[in-house]
Chains A and B, each alone.
Chain A
Amino acid sequence: MAATTLDTRARARARRGANAGTRRSNALVYVVAVLLVSAILAPVVYIVLGGFRTNSQITTDPSGLPGPWQVGNYLDVLGGSLFWQQAGNSTVAAVATTLGVVSLGLMASYVLARYRFRGRGAMYAVFAAGLMFPMTVAITPLYILVRSLGLMGSLGGIILPQIAFALPTTIIILVPFLRAIPDEIEEAAALDGCGKLGFFFRMVVRLAVPGVVTVGILAFVASWNSYLLPLFILSNEASYTLPLGVQAFASQYSVDTARVLAFTSLSMLPALVFFSLFERRIVGGLTGAVKG
């Protein structure tokens, strides 16, 4: 009894001490944090502000602020069809990839997590081994395969490989997730006459939503930003996704720096908006800090 009280008091004192120390050094922490955040954001701010300047402003004063502010570059890019077409292509590719990865990955993970059959270990190993095969290694045969399937220059030619290459991560994240669903729920469903397949469509699809969202966001952002595969597959400008479009725009209008910067900052906007909407899910999913 006495020992417990002593222990509690000591703990409280230790915590108070720690808090005081924390408060004292917090000022330093804030300074470091502010410096850090500025260093991280400076290049992004440079790109965004550069779009609000004119080329002569950029040439005469490369590191200055816009003065006066110009919105012409942004309006030009937004008024043209090029940006919208490429943003549309990126959206189609990213949405289709995400849907494909999530549905195929969820079904396969369900089998791996909740069916027992010979060859399950081998199947898991095949998918897991996929992590060892980065797209860089397979890119040339992939290009030839897509070409012989007649999918060159079409979004289908990047969607299918993107689904395939996102499957290993998806399955490895989802299998433990689905395995954690209590057996009792499945048994109760079985008593009500629900087979394994029925259980999947009625229960698992809903129970798996948090895991699916994390996996889906990873697939979406990866597709939105992907460069190597579109570089090989999308040969005509009409099918370009935004990363290719930004590069083409940058080399085509290399003298028009301000417009390139406007185009570039507009192209990163969707990914940033999407990310900040679901940021809690990604960071939370990674940090395991999802509360409630």
Chain B
Amino acid sequence: MASISEDAHRAHRSPVDQAGGVAPVAAPPAGPPARRRTSGVGWRTRAEIALLAGPALGVFLAFVIFPVVMAAYYGFFSWQGYGPPTEFVGLRNYVTILTDPTFHDALRHNAFIVVMSLVLQGPVAVLLALLLNRPLRGRSVIRVLIFVPYVISEVVVGTGWSLMLATNGALNDLLAKVGLDGLAQEWLSDPDVAIWTLMGIITWKYVGFAVILFLAGLQGIPEELSEAASIDGASYWQVQRRITLPLLGPTVRIWAFLSIIGSLQLFDLVYIIWGQYVASTAGTSTMATYMVVNGRNAGSYGYGNAVAVVLFVISLVIALLYQRFVLRRDTDGAITGGKR
């Protein structure tokens, strides 16, 4: 089953190669050499291509590309969402967004979530993956359990956690029971605490995904290398630090990319736990909750779409920079050398 492992490896790598940027995407992964001249495609082949790829292409263009283009278009209008947009306002929506302190707050929260997600989840997940990569009884059970929070829906996570973290909820009660009353907090409503609460929940929910991804990366590292290092007298931790970690680099960089993009788009958890109005006062609003609250919920669709465009441009710029400066060596290797 070597082919599957190779494919899985490539599969978890390629989305990022592709997602990294629009321009470099144009080159498809190196395929089999041309068996036929491209120009010699007959009508029959054309029909087959249209029949097989047509439906997917149609659905995709209609429900992904078209809405994204329309978001950019609607963003130039002041529009309540009924009838065709007529009140063209040029860049006014964008001026409003970029000068709105509430949006600045949301942007700051997103930046905080991006950085803290990397700082909190990365090291924890690497350590856990290293531990779980060792021969261990019950390892597969542990792997499944680690994945549980990731599989549970955001709504369940949000509902459960908000009950536990309520002022008279289970966590504060538990702290009192063990004599740590001093640590009891207004977990959800104190603006200084709430963002950390959110970070805790995010870490709990998504660290399992990072661990699984890193375990996948560790599987791809040939054992001979660490064996050879052990022969040369390297200790376990030396082997991990000098050999395993650098070889895990590409996986970590890809995880970091996914984590950054995910953190920028964060919506569900915040909206479910803090609701649409409390998020801004509790200090946990994000660009996406700002978009929904000030767009759809306020009945200003033009404005909401402009926020979506800002969110998209920020994600795109970060993705392109990341691709240019961080992922470059990985994708270079992938294109020129095939496997590491």
A25 CB to closest chain B CB, in angstroms?
A: 8
Residues of A within 8 A of B316 (CB): 132
Q: Is A289 an interface residue (CB 8 A)?
A: yes
Q: Is the CB of B67 within 8 A of A287?
A: no
Q: Is A63 an interface residue (CB 8 A)?
A: yes
Q: A40-B145, A142-B63 are in contact. Are A123 and B212 (CB under 8 A)?
A: no
Q: Is B163 an interface residue (CB 8 A)?
A: yes
Residues of A within 8 A of B283 (CB): none
Q: Which of B48-56, B88-96, B111-119 participates in binding chain A?
A: B48-56
Q: A18-B230, A289-B219 are in contact. Are A123 and B57 (CB under 8 A)?
A: yes
A67 CB to closest chain B CB, in angstroms?
A: 15
Q: Is A71 an interface residue (CB 8 A)?
A: no
Other 17 A-B pairs with CB < 8 A, given A36-B128, A117-B49, A132-B22: A21-B236, A25-B236, A46-B160, A50-B163, A108-B52, A115-B45, A116-B34, A132-B316, A133-B65, A136-B267, A137-B68, A138-B308, A197-B48, A227-B153, A227-B268, A271-B151, A283-B147
Q: Is B152 an interface residue (CB 8 A)?
A: yes
* B 278-329 contacts with A by CB, 8 A: 288, 291-292, 295-296, 301, 304-305, 308-309, 311-312, 315-316, 319
Q: Is the CB of B28 within 8 A of A43?
A: no
Q: A22-B135, A246-B156 are in contact. Are A14 and B230 (CB under 8 A)?
A: yes
Q: A50-B163, A134-B265 are in contact. Are A160 and B63 (CB under 8 A)?
A: yes
Residues of A within 8 A of B267 (CB): 136, 228
Partner of B60, one of A130, A177, A260: A130
Q: Is the CB of B56 within 8 A of A108?
A: yes
Residues of B within 8 A of A267 (CB): 153, 155-156
* A 93-133 contacts with B by CB, 8 A: 100, 104-105, 107-108, 110-113, 115-118, 120-133
16 A-B pairs whose Cβ atoms sit less than 8 Å apart in the complex: A29-B134, A40-B208, A50-B163, A116-B35, A117-B41, A124-B25, A125-B26, A126-B57, A131-B19, A132-B316, A163-B63, A172-B11, A246-B159, A247-B155, A284-B8, A288-B220
Partner of B63, one of A123, A145, A261: A145
Chain B proximity mask over A20-38: 1 for CB below 8 Å, otherwise 0: 0110011001101100110
Partner of A137, one of B61, B144, B311: B311
- Give bound CA distance, A171 to B71, whole Å: 25
Q: Is B32 an interface residue (CB 8 A)?
A: yes
Q: Is B76 an interface residue (CB 8 A)?
A: no
Q: Is the CB of A144 within 8 A of B81?
A: yes
Residues of B within 8 A of A214 (CB): 8
Q: A138-B71, A176-B11, A287-B8 are in contact. Are A225 and B154 (CB under 8 A)?
A: yes
A-B contacts counted at CB < 8 A amount to 348
- Give bound CA distance, A26 to B312, whole Å: 46
Q: Which residues of A contact B (CB under 8 A)?
A: 10-11, 14-15, 17-18, 21-22, 25-26, 29-30, 32-33, 36-37, 39-41, 43-44, 46-47, 50, 59, 61-63, 100, 104-105, 107-108, 110-113, 115-118, 120-134, 136-145, 160-161, 163-165, 167-169, 171-173, 175-177, 179-180, 183, 196-197, 200, 210-211, 214, 221, 224-225, 227-228, 232, 242-244, 246-247, 250, 257, 260-261, 264, 267-268, 271-272, 275-276, 279, 282-292
Residues of A within 8 A of B236 (CB): 18, 21, 25
Partner of B52, one of A110, A127, A175, A180: A110
- Give bound CA distance, A41 to B147, whole Å: 10
Q: Is the CB of B272 within 8 A of A183?
A: no
B218 CB to closest chain A CB, in angstroms?
A: 8
Q: What 4 A-B pairs are tightest by C-beta distance, nearest first?
A: A288-B5, A164-B63, A225-B153, A108-B56
Q: Which of B63, B268, B291 has the most CB of A within 10 A?
A: B63
Chain A proximity mask over B34-46: 1 for CB below 8 Å, otherwise 0: 1110110100011
Majority DSSP secondary structure for residues of A touching B: helix
Q: A40-B146, A287-B219 are in contact. Are A200 and B52 (CB under 8 A)?
A: yes
- Give bound CA distance, A37 to B145, whole Å: 7
A177: nearest chain-B partner, CB-CB: B7
Q: Is the CB of A112 within 8 A of B53?
A: yes
Residues of B within 8 A of A116 (CB): 31, 34-36, 38, 41
Q: Which of A112, A140, A171 has the most CB of B within 10 A?
A: A140
Q: Is the CB of B213 within 8 A of A136?
A: no
Q: A133-B64, A289-B5 are in contact. Are A160 and B59 (CB under 8 A)?
A: yes
Q: Is B14 an interface residue (CB 8 A)?
A: yes
Residues of A within 8 A of B154 (CB): 225, 227, 243
- Give bound CA distance, A113 to B308, whole Å: 34
Chain A proximity mask over B164-201: 1 for CB below 8 Å, otherwise 0: 10001111111001000000000000000000000000
Q: Is the CB of B304 within 8 A of A268?
A: no
Q: A137-B308, A272-B148 are in contact. Are A145 and B67 (CB under 8 A)?
A: yes
Residues of A within 8 A of B169 (CB): 62
Q: Is the CB of A120 within 8 A of B296?
A: no
Residues of B within 8 A of A136 (CB): 265, 267, 288, 291, 308, 311
Residues of A within 8 A of B19 (CB): 128, 131-132
Q: A43-B164, A139-B308, A197-B48 are in contact. Are A286 and B57 (CB under 8 A)?
A: no
Q: Is the CB of A63 within 8 A of B153?
A: no
B153 CB to closest chain A CB, in angstroms?
A: 4
Residues of B within 8 A of A107 (CB): 52-53, 55-56
